[in-house]
Amino acid sequence: FEKLRSGGTPLTSKKHYYNGHIPFVKIEDITGAGKFLTDTKIKISNDGLNNSTAWLVPKDSLLLAIYGSIGEITINKIEVTTNQAILGIVLDKNRVDTDYVYYFFKNIKLIRYAKQSTQANLTAEIIRSIEMPLPSLEEQKRISLILNTLDKKLSLQQSKKSKLESIRKSLMND
């Protein structure tokens, strides 16, 4: 990782910290995004960014939920900031493929690594300590290509299934 850090929330009592132009990611943005995050419900201002522990996570990084919906992950297709429940992971693109790391984290059960307290959570240190197989960059890209292709086929099949269920429901109603 080039950088691995959680975000921060600007004070909500300071209205001028919000309704800006900087996308601010919360857990529900990640859970609703799927593999790629392209927008957020909330935007913060430069003042909100500068007066909190939030930081700008570069486009094409990973956003990993470390509280609440532990292990939910997405790739941000826009520059964003995040709250403290989300770990921004900036990768060294010369050594690792973003999709490969995305699929790695999707595949392992991160909850088993969580610290148990009032609410289970992960930390940057825990994520750093997880051993990840790291084949050559070329092989990582081949693995990612195969998994992306399978995801697209699964999505197409789910879409077909939904349409067929809708047709069946209509026919049953008729």
Q: What is the DSSP string of 108-161?
A: S-GGGGPBPSSS-B--HHHHHHS------HHHHHHHHHHHHHHHHHHHHHHHHH
C-alpha distance from residue 104 to each of 21, 81, 108, 138, 140 (Å): 32, 23, 6, 16, 11
What value does the mean pLDDT take over residues 98-110?
93
Question: According to the model, what pLDDT value does residue 117 have?
Answer: 74
Residue type at position 101: V
| Averaged confidence pLDDT in the chain | 93
Give the whole-number percent of the chain exceeding pLDDT 70: 100
Question: According to the model, what pLDDT value does residue 68 have?
Answer: 82
- What is the Rg, in whole angstroms, of the alpha carbon atoms belonging to the chain? 19
Provide the CA 109 distance to its chain's centre, in angstroms: 15
Strand partners, 128: none
Question: According to the model, what pLDDT value does residue 79 have?
Answer: 98
C-alpha distance from residue 38 to each of 79, 102, 168 (Å): 9, 16, 34
- What is the phi/psi pair of residue 100, to 5°? -60, -45
In the structure, what pLDDT confidence band is assigned to residue 43 with cuts at 50, 70 and 90? Answer: very high
Question: According to the model, what pLDDT value does residue 6 have?
Answer: 95
Question: According to the model, what pLDDT value does residue 73 have?
Answer: 96
For residue 130, pLDDT over 90 is answered with yes
In the structure, what pLDDT confidence band is assigned to residue 45 with cuts at 50, 70 and 90? Answer: very high
Question: According to the model, what pLDDT value does residue 28 have?
Answer: 95
pLDDT tens column, 60-81: 999 999 988 889 999 999 999 9
For residue 118, pLDDT over 80 is answered with no
Q: How many residues does the chain have?
A: 174
Question: According to the model, what pLDDT value does residue 67 have?
Answer: 87
Residue 23's closest CA among 35, 13, 37, 11?
37
Question: According to the model, what pLDDT value does residue 154 have?
Answer: 92
C-alpha distance from residue 8 to each of 25, 47, 174 (Å): 10, 13, 53
What value does the mean pLDDT take over residues 80-91?
96
Residue 49's closest CA among 20, 6, 89, 73?
20
User: What CA–CA distance (Å, rounded) separates 31 from 74?
Assistant: 8
For residue 147, pLDDT over 90 is answered with yes
For residue 100, pLDDT over 90 is answered with yes
